[in-house]
Amino acid sequence: MNGQRIDAEFTGLPLRQLADAALDAAKTSGAQHADFRVERIRGQRISLNDGKLQGLSDSDDAGLAVRVIVDGTWGFASAVDLTPEAAAAAAREAVEVAKVAAAMNTERIELAPEPAYGDVTWVSDYETDPFDVPAKDKVAQLITWSNRLLTHPVVTHADASLLQIKECKFYTDGATTATQQRVRLHPELTAIAVTENGFEDMRTLAPPAGRGWEYLTGAGWNFDAELTELPEFLAGKLVAPSVEAGRYDLVIDPSNLWLTIHESIGHATELDRALGYEAAYAGTSFATLDKLNNLQYGSPVMHVTGDRTVTHGLATVGYDDEGVAGQSWDLISGGVLTGYQLDRRMAQLKGFGRSNGCAFADSPGHMPLQRMANVSLQPAEGGPSADELIAGVENGIYILGDKSWSIDMQRYNFQFTGQRFFRIRNGRLDGQLKDVAYQATTTDFWNSMEAVGGPQTFVLGGAFNCGKGQPGQVAPVSHGAPAALFRNVRILNTAEENS
């Protein structure tokens, strides 16, 4: 808990009065369980093209939500008017929805128990609320950065964007009442070089972060250094040779590996997916429940955790959207699958005893789902630097930054590209490559991981927009990773793939 306070504008709403109206109406209408949320989500998106303002828009989304269980069936309703009448009406509507839905329900909903925490508050760790910074100052910062890129002779165009979110959330189920606030932002700059022969682009590696405006002024990332080197790297990419398809050893930087972790571990260890609840949409998982504690997911150096607690993590909360306290736990230990991500329903259904706090709804208009925790590959204590990993490679590629990603509906077959690719010959970097994609099957890939870097290589990456569920919801999530060494991975030439 830092020194920030929850916005008075949010705490000044009649939160408890609304909750009383909703919970009373739900109970009176026949609900055996009811929980209630009020949310206010502020957003601001700024985009620039070639140092000129392309768009600046503000959003402010507020509303309330009631979730009930009636005779073992879910019901959910939401409203935008923050009045006791609207809260009570939403509760009655949620009960009505449950009654309509009961005809199709054959699996009784029960929730794993969670201690009552009483009336609690939590605020994420940031220094300066970006919504307190004048928009003109933010635009000026992006103009300055864009112009830095545009002064380089190789840069034809420069795109810049900044997305900022502040999420205020009130939750109560009668036993726990949690009032929370968190802030996150994502700055991105892309330099584009257009030539007679086509074009290339390159984006900053700076990840989105659960930080405030201080992130753009020096806390947590060195933008100055990155903007200095970016055009030079782009110039090198323009003249780089196209990769020869084949098998290579890879040293993967955390700026790329976070996304591979997200797709091939994060989603694969969601228990609702493993049980088939997302089968028609996001998909299932090869890591089915019968493989718990016996699937050799990866090599023995692989230790993956789930958490909702890491400082500046995008999925970090004090309490989830079912009143479960934030926790940290193992998902993969010594390369073996040892855990899943759970909500209260899944935890009860499969006898886990307690949820590990992964329920999240992205807005007051949506019902909470099991969503991803911060899922991170842990570094090796005293482990090697990226240079030391590279030194151990005779014929390989060093990959930085995320770009294209895709994985199948059971999380087996994936393909990723990146921002920067460096040839490794005899333990040293030997210029850039282009047209590189790596393609593998999840367990083959992670079992080919020979070494993980030390804590000095660890970086928290992530995304604002992890999609799941129907209706579709987006969730912010972080993934920490060290640099890591993989042996004998298939590399495609993307230009040849189109020929």
Partner 1 sequence: MTRNGSTAAPQDTVERALSLAKPGTDCVVIADEASNANLRWAGNTLTTNGVAVSRSLTVIAIDRRGDGTAGVGAVTRTGLRPDQVEDLVREAEKAAAQASPAEDVADLAGADATIRSAQSWEAVPGTTDIGVFRGFAADLGETLRAAEAAGRKLYGFAEHGVTATFLGTSSGVRLRYDQPAGRLELNAKSADMSRSAWDGVATRDFSDVDVAAVDAGLAQRLEWQARKVELPAGRYETLLPPTATSDLMTYMYWSAGARDAAEGRTVFSRAGGGTRVGERLASLPVSIYSDPSYAGLECAPFVVAHASGRDSSVFDNGLAAGRESWISEGSLSALHSSRFSAAKAGLPVTPAVDNLIMDGGSGASLASMISSTKRGLLLTCLWYIREVDPQTLLLTGLTRDGVYLVENGEVTGAVNNFRFNESPVAMLGRLAEVGATSKTLPREWGDYFNRAAMPTVRVDGFNMSSVSQAS
Using CB under 8 A, which residues numbered 63 to 92 contact partner 1?
63, 73-83, 85
Rounded Cα gap, residues 65 and 55, in angstroms: 31
* Minimum CB distance to partner 1, residue 10 (Å): 13
* Closest to partner 1 by CB, 125 or 435: 435
Considering only residues 407 to 426 of the shown chain, the ones binding partner 1 according to CB under 8 A are 407-410, 412-413, 415, 417
Considering only residues 342 to 381 of the shown chain, the ones binding partner 1 according to CB under 8 A are 365-367, 369
* Minimum CB distance to partner 1, residue 276 (Å): 6
Q: Going by C-beta distance under 8 Å and a sequence separation of 6 or more, which residues neighbour residue 277?
A: none
* Closest to partner 1 by CB, 58 or 119: 58
Rounded Cα gap, residues 405 and 261, in angstroms: 11
Q: Is 59 in the site for partner 1 (CB under 8 A)?
A: yes
Pairing of the two strands 369-370 and 33-49:
unpaired
Q: Give the per-residue contact string, 98-127, with partner 1 (x = CB under 8 A; - = no).
A: x-xxxxxxxx--------------------
C-alpha pair distances (Å), 160 with each of 138, 148, 229: 11, 12, 16
The DSSP code sequence of 4-45 is ----HHHHTS-HHHHHHHHHHHHHHHT-SEEEEEEEEEEEEE
| Binding residue for partner 1, selected from 20, 61, 188, 450, defined by CB under 8 A | 61
Query: What 3-state DSSP class applies to 227?
Result: helix
Q: Is 17 in the site for partner 1 (CB under 8 A)?
A: no
C-alpha pair distances (Å), 482 with each of 110, 182, 258, 461: 39, 26, 9, 10
Q: Give the per-residue contact string, 224-263, with partner 1 (x = CB under 8 A; - = no).
A: ----------------------------------------
Q: Which stretch binds partner 1 (CB under 8 A): 120-128, 139-147, 170-178, 247-255?
A: 139-147
* Minimum CB distance to partner 1, residue 76 (Å): 4
Rounded Cα gap, residues 399 and 156, in angstroms: 24
| Binding residue for partner 1, selected from 161, 333, 441, 448, defined by CB under 8 A | 441
* Minimum CB distance to partner 1, residue 307 (Å): 26
Q: Is 157 in the site for partner 1 (CB under 8 A)?
A: yes
| Binding residue for partner 1, selected from 10, 91, 93, 479, defined by CB under 8 A | 93
Q: CA triplet 129, 132, 137: central angle to 5 degrees?
A: 110
Residue pair 168/6 in contact (Cβ under 8 Å)? The answer is yes
| Binding residue for partner 1, selected from 197, 225, 290, 294, defined by CB under 8 A | 197
* Minimum CB distance to partner 1, residue 139 (Å): 5
Q: Is 175 in the site for partner 1 (CB under 8 A)?
A: no
| Binding residue for partner 1, selected from 117, 286, 329, 352, defined by CB under 8 A | 286
Cβ-based neighbour number of residue 393 at 10 Å? 22
User: Burial code of 426-453, b = ≥16 C-beta within 10 A, e = fewer?
Assistant: eeeeeebbbbbbbebbbbebbbbbbbbb
| Binding residue for partner 1, selected from 3, 118, 153, 196, defined by CB under 8 A | 196
Tokens of 387: 């240079």
Q: Is 199 in the site for partner 1 (CB under 8 A)?
A: yes
